Structure 1
Amino acid sequence: MGISAETLKTSLDALAAREPRIAAALARVGYPEPRISEPGYQTLLRAIVGQQVSIKAAASMWAKLTAIVGDPPAPEQLLAASDEALRAAGLSRQKASYARSLAEEVVSGRLDFANLPEDDEEAIAELVRVKGIGRWTAEVYLLFAEGRTDIWPAGDLAVQIEAGAIIGLEGKPTEKALRALAEAWRPHRGAFAIFTWHHRRHALQSRNASEAPV
């Protein structure tokens, strides 16, 4: 589901009206594209598979896993797969444990994606009960899959770096400092998080272009 392009624009325009430095950054790099994932089990399973590996490695593991447990992968089939089969898909012992934990929560009904709490902090707490799902993964899921507009992943390194750069801070703010700073940006913090990643890509592209040989 995610946050739509229209909602992103409305939120960022509202923030730009409040904060001239956000307005200046928006004028420099423009509006971000929506970042949208399907809500539900498959998206979180993909997140587990992709932890601490490259995009290419994660894609390879996903292809092998879905060949074993089906595409889309059903939690019941994952639970029925042997440890050897999951290792053959490239999942470490730890990742296989995390994947099974997620599947068990879904099959048992303890985790119901269609009925997560409306309160963001309560929804995050519900997701991080699952072994292998940390706060960052829960926040990104709620932002990209459910389109919750005020999710603020302040522990994300790129969000810290770019929010600090946009606002003109000296150095990278801590997660605690960034959470306090972002109180002024409610209820549009999700849109601003997406904008910081967009701003980061532009900054890196500009740096690479300036360092390219003539």
Structure 2
Amino acid sequence: MPRHARGFDTDAAFAYLARRDRTLGAWMKRIGVIAPEPRWRKPFDPVDALARAILYQQLSGKAAATIVGRVEAAIGSSRLHHDTLARIDDVALRACGVSGNKTLALRDLAAREARGEIPTLRQMSVLHHDDIVAALTPIRGIGRWTVEMMLMFRLGRPDVLPIDDLGIRKGAQRVDRADVLPTPKELLARGEAWGPYRTYASLYLWRIADFADGAKVATKRSQD
């Protein structure tokens, strides 16, 4: 099986996209080259990352970090896995500030890991990104967007386009000077021009959306 490298040549991606789509390219030149994601080279634990993604959902970063810290203290570990989460019951998880739905999601993640259903980092290296999405989205509380963020920011897959992401859709609307947001289906078709570097195009679409919203700093799009 072919092994997928983590990360890609951003200079090559910039040149390719600027040449392939001149409208997007004009924005890219205005923004400048976006540097490679530093986490592409760092090892990470998919199960722990998914557990943290569950805990961070719908919370501010500060509030979520506080809850994660309480859970880590309660289980006596900074590693969130089926064996460490087994050290705490649901009542104690709720006492840490974990909602009922998130508690159920963590238990489902842990059970699936124990059954060997969660691909390891090594296994992911030989899986197509669509296969990784298919393997992880059955987990309670884990949607396609969460997996796409892992694919883009942790695994460095070059050709991921989160078509349901509002920021991506806003960026595409501004690039094309459209009166309305593109639908996910329309964005999927529009994104064909950006392959095989749809991940890099997405990074620019988010920046362009921030320009449109008047943001002074780039919006954080993923969670460690």
| TM-score, normalisation: structure 1 | 0.87
CA shift, 1:150, in A, is 0.6
Return closer, same or farther for 1:82/1:186 CA change in 2, 3 Å cut-off. Answer: same
What pairs up with 1:182-201 in 2 under 5 angstroms?
182-201=191-210
Identity %: 30
- Residue 220 of structure 2 corresponds to none
Larger mean Cα displacement after TM superposition, 70-79 or 91-100? 70-79
Distance in 2 between the 1:201 and 1:3 partners?
Answer: 24
Tell me the secondary structure at the aligned position of residue 27 of structure 1: helix
CA shift, 1:89, in A, is 1.6
1:101 aligns with 2:145: no
What pairs up with 1:49-128 in 2 under 5 angstroms?
49-69=55-75, 70-114=77-121, 115-116=123-124, 118-128=127-137
What pairs up with 1:157-196 in 2 under 5 angstroms?
157-196=166-205
CA shift, 1:12, in A, is 2.3
Distance in 2 between the 1:2 and 1:85 partners?
Answer: 37
Distance in 1 between the 2:215 and 2:171 partners?
Answer: 14
Distance in 1 between the 2:197 and 2:6 partners?
Answer: 14
- Residue 32 of structure 1 corresponds to 34
Distance in 2 between the 1:207 and 1:171 partners?
Answer: 24
Q: Residue by residue, what CA displacement relative to the aligned partner does 1:107-130 show, whole Å, maximum 9, x if unpaired?
A: 221112231362222211111011
Return closer, same or farther for 1:204/1:3 CA change in 2, 3 Å cut-off. Answer: farther
Distance in 2 between the 1:106 and 1:195 partners?
Answer: 35
Distance in 1 between the 2:84 and 2:216 partners?
Answer: 46
Return closer, same or farther for 1:18/1:154 CA change in 2, 3 Å cut-off. Answer: same
CA shift, 1:2, in A, is 5.9
CA shift, 1:67, in A, is 1.2
The 8 Å contact of residues 174 and 209 in structure 2, kept in 1 or not, is answered as no
Distance in 2 between the 1:143 and 1:78 partners?
Answer: 27
Structure 2 spans left out of the alignment, 5+ residues? 218-224
Q: RMSD across aligned C-alpha pairs, in angstroms?
A: 2.2
Count of aligned residue pairs for this structure pair: 206
Return closer, same or farther for 1:207/1:60 CA change in 2, 3 Å cut-off. Answer: closer
The 8 Å contact of residues 159 and 195 in structure 2, kept in 1 or not, is answered as yes
Structure 1 spans left out of the alignment, 5+ residues? 209-214
- Residue 17 of structure 1 corresponds to 19
Distance in 2 between the 1:198 and 1:155 partners?
Answer: 16
Give the helix-richer structure, 1 or 2: 1
The correspondence for 2:7, drawn from 3, 23, 38, is 3
CA shift, 1:55, in A, is 1.5
The 8 Å contact of residues 71 and 93 in structure 2, kept in 1 or not, is answered as yes
Distance in 1 between the 2:86 and 2:45 partners?
Answer: 21
Amino acid of the residue matched to residue 13 of structure 2?
S
The 8 Å contact of residues 72 and 78 in structure 2, kept in 1 or not, is answered as yes
Return closer, same or farther for 1:32/1:201 CA change in 2, 3 Å cut-off. Answer: farther
CA shift, 1:167, in A, is 3.0
